[in-house]
A = this chain, B = another copy of it.
Amino acid sequence: MTSSPCYCTVLKAASRRLAALYDEALEPVGVNIAQFSLLRRIRRAEPVTLTELGRIAELDRSTIGRNTRVLERMGLVALGRGADHREAVVTLTAAGHKALDEGEPLWDGVQDAIEARLGNTGVMELCTALQDL
């Protein structure tokens, strides 16, 4: 057997390269891909608690809390308390919706570029493999 590459390292490197692509495209909107993705998840689940958001995004709850607070400082989301006073409830602000609307076409551009580079089968295979990981 020839020595295989470290799948984790290869994945991380590709992840960083890809993130840089998206970040550059989203630069005019003032958010990075992690923030944009989080905004989209919030829009889909809104109103949503931090714990639920963490579950959806497969992120540690404390990570979600911190990332959400960054969006709050940016004025893109609002944090409030739910009926259950333990829960922190997240909702999008008008500026948050605007950022999503402005970012969407830019994001689409990157998605299209990637699909063009990998081809339909390539994309399909990639998604299948990532899902199995």
Contacts and interface: CB of A to CB of B under 8 A. Distances in A.
Given A11-B130, A118-B132, A123 B4 contact: yes
Interface in A1-41: 4-19, 21-22, 33-34, 37, 40
A123 B114 CA distance: 20
Interface size class of A (residues with CB under 8 A): 35 or more
- Give the dominant DSSP class at A's interface: helix
Contact of A126 (B19, B114, B117, B125): B125
Contacts of A129: 118, 122-123, 125-126, 129
Contacts of A122: 125, 128-129, 132
B6 A107 contact: yes
A58 B17 contact: yes
Contact of A127 (B10, B15, B117): B10
Most buried by B among A34, A125, A133: A133
Contacts of A93: none
Given A125-B125, A126-B129, A8 B18 contact: yes
